[in-house]
A and B are shown apart, each in its own frame.
Chain A
């Protein structure tokens, strides 16, 4: 079955530590996205990538970094510069910009907490 796989499901970060969240898709989608969701709030865009080897900052990119070396993979690193990283992180993918009526499909999320 095609889909988006995020790992791990739960992650704990120590002070001063960088952590990387994995996102893999086998839907052959060109575009991939990372969102952050805080309790009782909507999704806020961190980074997105429309094509391999290219990515753009979203609304809340500070303290995060990404890479897009392969079409299937879009890992997110939460750096020590992100002072309030506790949140639910969702990865999504969609067909390219030519398919504007196509929805984004989401992974099951990673819940990140501070130790």
Chain B
């Protein structure tokens, strides 16, 4: 089975940098995804990590340490529109390669 932990809520100021952590315990591992979800809307894909290290994509970066079961999503130059829930999801190593989602971190960006 999988267990994924994220902080429930975070608050940051416009223009700042915020780091959202995700820890996981899995019986297998085949990649970690980050999604952004605005209230009442569909999740949208942000990043994917399967090897250790940092993946950078514009204002968003994601880091993975497989030995520590740890990932973080880094958001730079925060904008008001970044206020959303951020979901960490782990793909297991089984034949079905299902995604297990964390409960999400609700980020509020203040002016």
Contact = CB atoms under 8 A, between A and B. Distances in A.
Interface of A: 35, 40-45, 48, 50, 56, 58, 88, 90, 97, 100-101, 103-109, 111
Interface of B: 4, 8, 30-31, 33, 35, 40-45, 48, 50, 87, 89, 91, 95-104
Given A43-B101, A100-B91, A101-B31, A56 B96 contact: yes
Contacts, number: 57
Given A41-B103, A43-B87, A101-B50, A106 B43 contact: yes
B42 A109 contact: yes
A41 to B, nearest CB: 5
Contacts of B101: 35, 42-44
Contact of A90 (B33, B42, B89): B42
A79 B45 CA distance: 31
Contacts of B100: 45
A41 B42 CA distance: 14
- Pick from A41, A100, A103 the residue with the most CB of B within 10 Å: A103
A35 B43 CA distance: 11
Residue from B8, B50, B95, B97 whose CB has the most chain A CB atoms within 10 Å = B97
Nearest to A99: B97
Contact of A108 (B42, B89, B97, B99): B42
Given A40-B103, A100-B30, A103-B48, A45 B98 contact: yes
A42 B31 contact: no
Given A42-B4, A42-B101, A50-B96, 12 more contacts: A44-B101, A45-B100, A48-B96, A48-B98, A88-B40, A90-B43, A100-B91, A103-B35, A103-B45, A104-B99, A105-B45, A108-B42
Contacts of B33: 103-104
A108 B93 CA distance: 28
Nearest to A94: B99
A112 to B, nearest CB: 13
Contact of B87 (A40, A42, A45, A101): A42
